Amino acid sequence: MNLQQLRCATREVLRDFAEPVYWSDEQINRYLNNAVREACIRARLLKDDHLSNPDLCRYTVAPGNPVIKLKPEVLVARSGHLGCQREKLWMVTAESMDRIYPQWEADTACPGQAGYGIMDLAQKTIRLFPRPMAPDVLHLRVWRYPLASELMCRDTDSPVIVLPDAEELKHWAAYECYLARDGEENLDTRGATHLATFEQRFGSRPSLHEMARWADSPPRHRRSVFW
């Protein structure tokens, strides 16, 4: 379905066809794009790597600087490796790293090849450990949000995600429409119904902690190769 068809489907459930319409085309278009973004967050529908999207998934590593700032479009890093290494990095949360190396935040490890990537989704960063001391390139595989170039702007544009039934996006758009409208009886109930329908298809919205766990894969034992 294209944007025009999705907008019409949304107006049908809103019963908002009579002129003057209550919700503008621009509002509904924005909410439909939000629906695509929400689907990507909940169901991890968009993936990329350093080959398919190097601008998003390749990062320069500066000597002595372990912190990599991720692009805003990155949802979660699934895995990664440094260009100079064959082995993948262990992608972990700070909580997992606390169990593996309790003193990691003090950076007491000898500099050398990084073996871990500690994700901080609140800051949108990955911290390499041990601290790298040579220039390198970090290659990532990521789940991501839609890019600005992938938003639906023209009536003929279609969602970037492939769905069995794209019309289901109308339920998130309808939910946002009701959320933005005050002062009418039963609107909260209608919005909640559309949100529930959307979540039946795509799942509930994860917390940052839950998202970090998606790629948290610590080793069972300490790696000694880096010491």
- Whether 138 is in a domain gets the answer yes
pTM of the model: 0.88
Q: Which two tokens stand for residue 22?
A: 């209550």
Please tell me the predicted confidence (pLDDT) of residue 128.
Answer: 93
- Whether 8 is in a domain gets the answer no
**Residue 175 phi, psi (nearest 5):** -60, -45
Rounded to 10 deg, the angle between the 187-202 and 170-179 helix axes is 150
- Whether 38 is in a domain gets the answer no
Please tell me the predicted confidence (pLDDT) of residue 216.
Answer: 86
First to last CA, the chain: 55
Please tell me the predicted confidence (pLDDT) of residue 175.
Answer: 95
CA gyration radius, the chain: 22
Please tell me the predicted confidence (pLDDT) of residue 110.
Answer: 60
Q: What percent of the chain has pLDDT over 70?
A: 91
Q: Which of 17-21, 69-73, 223-227 has the lowest mean pLDDT?
A: 223-227
Residue 221: is its pLDDT beyond 90?
Answer: no
Mean of pLDDT values over 108-135: 85
- Whether 30 is in a domain gets the answer no
pLDDT tens digits, 54-102:
999 999 999 989 999 999 999 999 999 998 777 889 999 999 999 988 8
**Residue 80 phi, psi (nearest 5):** -165, 165
- Whether 36 is in a domain gets the answer no
Give the domain extent around 70.
47-144
Please tell me the predicted confidence (pLDDT) of residue 40.
Answer: 97
Residue 108: is its pLDDT beyond 80?
Answer: no
Residue 181: is its pLDDT beyond 90?
Answer: no
- Whether 60 is in a domain gets the answer yes
Tally of domains within the chain: 1
Residue 224: is its pLDDT beyond 80?
Answer: no
Band (pLDDT 50/70/90 cuts) for residue 141 is very high
Please tell me the predicted confidence (pLDDT) of residue 105.
Answer: 84
- Whether 199 is in a domain gets the answer no
CB 26 within 8 A of CB 180: no
Burial of 68 (0-12, 13-18, 19+ CB in 10 A): buried
| CA separation for the pair 192, 61 (Å, rounded) | 46
Q: Which two tokens stand for residue 202?
A: 């795509």
Please tell me the predicted confidence (pLDDT) of residue 64.
Answer: 87
Residue 171: is its pLDDT beyond 70?
Answer: yes
- Whether 125 is in a domain gets the answer yes
Burial of 135 (0-12, 13-18, 19+ CB in 10 A): exposed
Tally of residues, the chain: 227
